[in-house]
Structure 1
Amino acid sequence: MKAILELIERRRSSYEQHPFIRFLRDDTVAPARRLSYAPFASFFVLSFADFNRRYLRAEASPVGYQAMVDRHADEDSTHFSWFLHDLRILGYDVECRVSDVLRFLWSDLGRHTRDLSYYAISVTRGASAELRLAIIEAVESMGNVWLTATLEAARAHPDGDRLVYFGPHHLERETGHAIGSAIEEIREISLSPEDRARAEEIVHGFFDRMEAFNAELLERVDAASNVEFTELLR
């Protein structure tokens, strides 16, 4: 797995320079605007809970590496409630029609958001425990970059001390995962040539789609800069 972790690190270094990540870190931009991407990320965050609960976990009693995967999935499957909490704090918990919400979530403007979610599910179904660990490492690497940059905006926000998903609590829980403490064990996993090639393909697939998702978030933030959120739901 060492070669896969090195690939993840290379893609992570490149991802840290993504325009969306630089936008989140830009202290010349108002914190509220930097965090205004939140509702546009809703589909991914909520479907990520399903990904952990229904696809990453094993259906039967887990053993070996799958037990490690399941512990991680159990932890990550609960984080969506923090996101819903923060949407309220940021002022996005508005009254609206169900049809407007569905139109907002499945708009063509959010196709890359959905694509990332669907990709995560598709590559995980039927994957070995070793490949699922590679998936976790790729997702956690991207998430760490994203949450670390978001935290800079959250700390500068007037209600930053009330934010949970975007605040320090979430990032601290991510870096405190049991999976992180087992990184050396994961590094020593021996992959077959077929699994190594598949893992490389999956890692590139995740980072490519994450970057497209982030570019989409930035486009939607820019397009909505002078528009009330309720107008976007119509």
Structure 2
Amino acid sequence: MKEILDYRDVKQNELRAHTFFKWMNSEGPPLNDKFQFMPIMIIFVMNFRDMNKWVIRFDDSDNELKAVINSSTTEDETHSRLFLEDWRKFHFDDHLDWKPSDVLWWLFLADDTEPFRRFGVDFMRLCVDDNNDPLMRFAHSEAGEACGHVFFENIAPLAEKLSIQNGLNYRYFGMHHLELETGHVLESEGVFEHETLTAAQRQTGLNLAERMFTIFDGIHDSFYAYVEKYCEANTTPVRNCNRKNSRAAEHEAEEDVISTPSLNDASQVDSSQSALQNHLNMRKEEIENHEFFHWMKETPLPAVKKLQRFIPLWAVDIFGYRDLNKYAMKYKNPVNNLEKQTNRIASNLSNHSQLFLQDWIELELDELISWPVSDMLDFLFLDYMMDTHRENLIKFGMLALKYKDPVVRLWFMDILEASGHSFFRNTRELALEAEKNENICLDYLADRHLITHQKYDTTLDADIKQLNVTKENKKIIDSLIDIVFDALTKNLDLSLFAAKSNKFSIR
């Protein structure tokens, strides 16, 4: 382990020389202005809680090494609340004056924040590639802690100076946080450094640590890019409000823009897959009878009011589906036709969410919810209902990264699409009624997802349902069916509760 820790020290010192820290410690900008880069931190900081709860943490603590890592994640998951506390002290809600739709754009669609959506999946990939070996998880976690210490050793003194000026205590940026960021996995000293690694473990550990430092190099590159683009120009990000892919703009017939029910025609299924297809069909039939869909059909409310009562709960799922397909399902360097097919399908599926932001605006959710930025972030990342949605999405991402066989990934995408059939069949009915009655356009909820697809020659695609599937892959796919539909059931339960209790106070 000593070789990995020595490497950590070298890379930590290299990070200290980053241009971002030179800017932070320069004499030019006023002290308060040096914290105006906070908006570019949002995704990393708020997702950090999720990474600790559902990615880094082991399911059990059956040995000392796992117990130490798990204990560290319990402390680290609290930091996002401190960030929101400091955000409010810097009056960023007033400074940005963003609507909820602007927050969604910044988190899930803006070009400036795209690297952070990729970094999130890269981070998850580390915890897949370490094969749940606590020594390997320590190797990349320790690298991450070293990077965090560099950030706070630079910024905490500035926050303390600002505290003296204005009398406010900045617990995220100040000494409170620096004292927690020792540069090591919490309480790990004396536990890991004397562990002996095999040659293979040492090489894997060095590779994982290197990848973590690469992620943090990219994070700080993005911090400084934001500084140059916005802070030094004394401006803030503004969403382009041009409407794209609307039904009116496409001039397509109604029947031509409804999403296809499946990735493949399952009318002919190879005998090795018949049990899988039967299992999938059974779960689809079960979910069709969920009480939430009965509420959608039978409750005597206008269609637009029904949609407004539950749609905010699905924001993370809908936008996160983009990143799941773009960064977890796709192969970086596809080597065969099935991997290329996976990439083509994943690329199209990743486009669907761009329609949702316009639906949000058309439903007037900005006006109905009217939360400032910090309250919107609190809802998306800290609300107990949203925890369930985000945990499910992270679980899907980890599974997509774990199972690299294209047959499994193609099946996985098919399962995810199939799980949405009942949901979109019901939202479509409400969306069509709302469009007619309210003179609005709801392309996403009306299931016109195909208008975002890039066309390609589908004759190149294999029908995955007609391929022979190995016994091992059948077991994996069978479990994926239950994982996806069990997660959907939980989400629908929450939607039913939110709709009935009027969680969002829709009048």
TM over 0.5: yes
> Is 1:117 equivalent to 2:120 in the alignment?
yes
Q: Secondary structure at the match of 1:183?
A: coil
Instruction: Indicate the larger mover: 85-94 or 67-76.
Output: 85-94
Aligned to 2:194: 188
Aligned to 2:152: 147
Higher normalized contact order (CA 8 Å, seq sep 6+, divided by chain length): 1
Structure 1 residue runs of 5 or longer lacking an equivalent are none
Q: Secondary structure at the match of 1:166?
A: coil
Q: Distance in 2 between matches of 1:169 and 1:233?
A: 35
- Following superposition of structure 1 onto structure 2, how do residues 53-132 of structure 1 map, counting pairs within 5 Å? 53-94=53-94, 95-106=97-108, 107-125=110-128, 126-132=131-137
Residues 59 and 182 from structure 1, CA distance in 2 versus in 1: closer, same or farther, beyond 3 angstroms?
closer
Aligned to 1:208: 214
Q: Distance in 2 between matches of 1:7 and 1:166?
A: 27
Aligned length: 232
Structure 2 residue runs of 5 or longer lacking an equivalent are 241-507
Residues 130 and 207 from structure 1, CA distance in 2 versus in 1: closer, same or farther, beyond 3 angstroms?
same
Check whether the contact 1:112–1:209 (CA below 8 A) recurs between aligned residues.
Answer: no
Aligned to 2:439: none
Counterpart amino acid of residue 119 in structure 1: D
Counterpart amino acid of residue 97 in structure 1: K
The match for 2:174 among 167, 178, 184 is 167
Report the Cα offset of residue 132 of structure 1. Answer: 1.3
Report the Cα offset of residue 114 of structure 1. Answer: 2.6
Structure 1 or 2, whichever has the larger Rg, is 2
Residues 114 and 181 from structure 1, CA distance in 2 versus in 1: closer, same or farther, beyond 3 angstroms?
same
Check whether the contact 1:131–1:199 (CA below 8 A) recurs between aligned residues.
Answer: yes
Report the Cα offset of residue 21 of structure 1. Answer: 1.5
> Is 1:24 equivalent to 2:24 in the alignment?
yes
Residues 187-226 of structure 1: CA deviation (Å, up to 9, x unaligned): 1111222221111111111112211211111111221133
Residues 61-80 of structure 1: CA deviation (Å, up to 9, x unaligned): 44220001000000101111
Residues 160 and 8 from structure 1, CA distance in 2 versus in 1: closer, same or farther, beyond 3 angstroms?
farther
Residues 183 and 60 from structure 1, CA distance in 2 versus in 1: closer, same or farther, beyond 3 angstroms?
closer
Kindly, what percent of the aligned residue pairs are identical? Answer: 24
Check whether the contact 2:68–2:186 (CA below 8 A) recurs between aligned residues.
Answer: no
Q: Distance in 1 between matches of 2:87 and 2:101?
A: 19
Q: Distance in 1 between matches of 2:104 and 2:53?
A: 23
Report the Cα offset of residue 117 of structure 1. Answer: 2.3
Report the Cα offset of residue 228 of structure 1. Answer: 4.4
> Is 1:48 equivalent to 2:48 in the alignment?
yes
Instruction: Indicate the larger mover: 132-141 or 79-88.
Output: 132-141
Residues 27 and 161 from structure 1, CA distance in 2 versus in 1: closer, same or farther, beyond 3 angstroms?
farther
Residues 91-141 of structure 1: CA deviation (Å, up to 9, x unaligned): 112453222111112312122223332222111133311111112210110
Residues 160 and 55 from structure 1, CA distance in 2 versus in 1: closer, same or farther, beyond 3 angstroms?
farther
Residues 37 and 160 from structure 1, CA distance in 2 versus in 1: closer, same or farther, beyond 3 angstroms?
farther
Residues 27-85 of structure 1: CA deviation (Å, up to 9, x unaligned): 43222222111111110001111000111111134422000100000010111100000
Higher helix proportion: 1
Check whether the contact 2:61–2:70 (CA below 8 A) recurs between aligned residues.
Answer: no
Q: Secondary structure at the match of 1:139?
A: helix
Report the Cα offset of residue 180 of structure 1. Answer: 4.9
Instruction: Indicate the larger mover: 195-204 or 65-74.
Output: 195-204
Check whether the contact 2:51–2:124 (CA below 8 A) recurs between aligned residues.
Answer: yes
Q: Distance in 2 between matches of 1:192 and 1:128?
A: 13
Counterpart amino acid of residue 224 in structure 2: L
Check whether the contact 2:4–2:206 (CA below 8 A) recurs between aligned residues.
Answer: yes
Residues 232 and 156 from structure 1, CA distance in 2 versus in 1: closer, same or farther, beyond 3 angstroms?
farther
Residues 90 and 57 from structure 1, CA distance in 2 versus in 1: closer, same or farther, beyond 3 angstroms?
same
If the length of structure 1 is used for normalisation, what is the TM-score?
A: 0.90
Residues 159 and 232 from structure 1, CA distance in 2 versus in 1: closer, same or farther, beyond 3 angstroms?
farther
